[in-house]
Amino acid sequence: MPGHLSPPPVGQLCYENVNGSCIKTPYSLGSRVILYAVFGFASFLAVFGNLLVMTSVLHFKQLHSPANFLIASLAFADFLVGVTVMPFSMVRSVESCWYFGARFCSLHSCFDVAFCYSSLFHLCFISIDRYIAVTEPLVYPTKFTVSVSGTCIGISWILPLVYSGAVFYTGVNDDGMKDLVSALNCIGGCQIVVNQDWILINFLLFFIPTLVMIILYSKIFLVAKQQAIKIENTGSKAESSSDSYRSRVAKRERKAAKTLGITVVAFMISWLPYTIDTVIDAYMGFITPAYIYEICCWGAYYNSAINPLIYALFYLGLGKPSKLF
């Protein structure tokens, strides 16, 4: 995510005895230890939790399914956030300085946007998959095939990578803001300026897939409720093998849909504050205090650590580790 634009209060420098060094906001030793522990724990969960999900799906043949390949790809996106983004953002957040060079600052911002949007697109496609699985369980295997899953995975990776690369390596993100960029340019900073036009595009890229997920999961829960009533009403009657199979499939898919619904809610809680903050900042002159921005930023990062925990709790609750979806 682009660095916050508000200059820190006067304090020590990021690079002592270097002309043009950024000003550092000092934290007490105790505060720094706590912050490193909180942020480091998020990075640890994002790396090892998602690594476990990927390994499970790819290693066990019984988990090889189009839906689970989407889950593994989502875990890979969250894994990359934990490896390539969060450790460096942790140092930036705690030390209030960027010690990794100007070139890597642009690359880090590109990775940040690309992998986070990739995670969002994966969740959107997973919601479509769950909608088909719940509403049309008997024909679902013929509709959501491996090739369809591969197409969804390709879109979820190619579009965010192309978008983030185009924005941050062509310079269009700061068109019309050259004076602000010059004022913020100092050694030890990683402050990527994004103008109002691109902030609006970023918001739409977040809002549209999220709206799709909300609509689909609302329909899923409505269908699931209707199925539950139907099963309850026919539970005491003899069922044909087709009806029995439909009931088992519907029950399993409702559980899977419930888990993905929790995942989407967790995503919104994590990302909505950051998204709203970036829009307000862009249109109100970057008024958000630095510590508020960092809280919103790490709330979004924590989503990459939460997803595998949700999956693990769900699978343990199912009591069927041989099936994810």
CA distance 313 to 303: 15
What's the confidence (pLDDT) of residue 14? 86
CB 227 within 8 A of CB 136: no
Global confidence as pTM: 0.83
- Report the DSSP beta bridge partners of residue 105: none
Confidence of residue 318 (pLDDT cuts 50, 70, 90): very low
CB 79 within 8 A of CB 54: yes
Domain ranges of the chain: 29-318
What's the confidence (pLDDT) of residue 134? 81
What's the confidence (pLDDT) of residue 320? 44
Confidence of residue 309 (pLDDT cuts 50, 70, 90): confident
Contacts of range 57-62, beta carbons closer than 8 Å, 24 or more positions apart: 57/324, 60/322, 62/322, 62/323
Q: Which two tokens stand for residue 68?
A: 């689970």
Whether pLDDT at 260 is above 80: no
- Which class in CATH covers the domain with range 29-318? mainly alpha
What's the confidence (pLDDT) of residue 317? 41
What's the confidence (pLDDT) of residue 147? 95
Mean pLDDT of 149-174: 87
Mean pLDDT of 100-115: 90
Confidence of residue 127 (pLDDT cuts 50, 70, 90): confident
Confidence of residue 6 (pLDDT cuts 50, 70, 90): very low
What's the confidence (pLDDT) of residue 77? 95
CA distance 113 to 147: 27
Whether pLDDT at 115 is above 90: yes
34 or 315, which is more confident: 34
Mean pLDDT of 5-18: 65
Percent of the chain with pLDDT over 90: 30
Question: ∠ at Cα 138 (259, 227), nearest 5°?
Answer: 55
Q: Is residue 134 packed enough to be buried (19+ CB in 10 Å), middle (13-18) or exposed (0-12)?
A: buried
Name the most confidently modeled range: 40-49, 168-177, 189-198, 315-324. 40-49
What's the confidence (pLDDT) of residue 87? 95
Q: Residue 280 is inside which H or E element, if any?
A: helix 241-284
pLDDT per residue over 286-301, tens digit each? 778 878 888 898 999 9
pLDDT per residue over 193-249, tens digit each? 777 788 888 889 889 999 998 898 888 877 777 766 666 666 545 555 555 656 665
What's the confidence (pLDDT) of residue 138? 84
What is the DSSP code (8-state) at residue 65? Answer: S
CB 92 within 8 A of CB 294: no
What's the confidence (pLDDT) of residue 155? 96
Contacts of 256 (CB under 8 A, 6+ apart): 130, 133, 324, 325
| End-to-end Cα, the chain, rounded Å | 32
Confidence of residue 108 (pLDDT cuts 50, 70, 90): very high
Nearest partner of 125 among 153, 104, 97, 99, judged by Cα: 153
Mean pLDDT of 38-51: 94
103 or 183, which is more confident: 103
What's the confidence (pLDDT) of residue 321? 41
Percent of the chain with pLDDT over 70: 77
Question: ∠ at Cα 144 (140, 150), nearest 5°?
Answer: 165
What's the confidence (pLDDT) of residue 9? 46
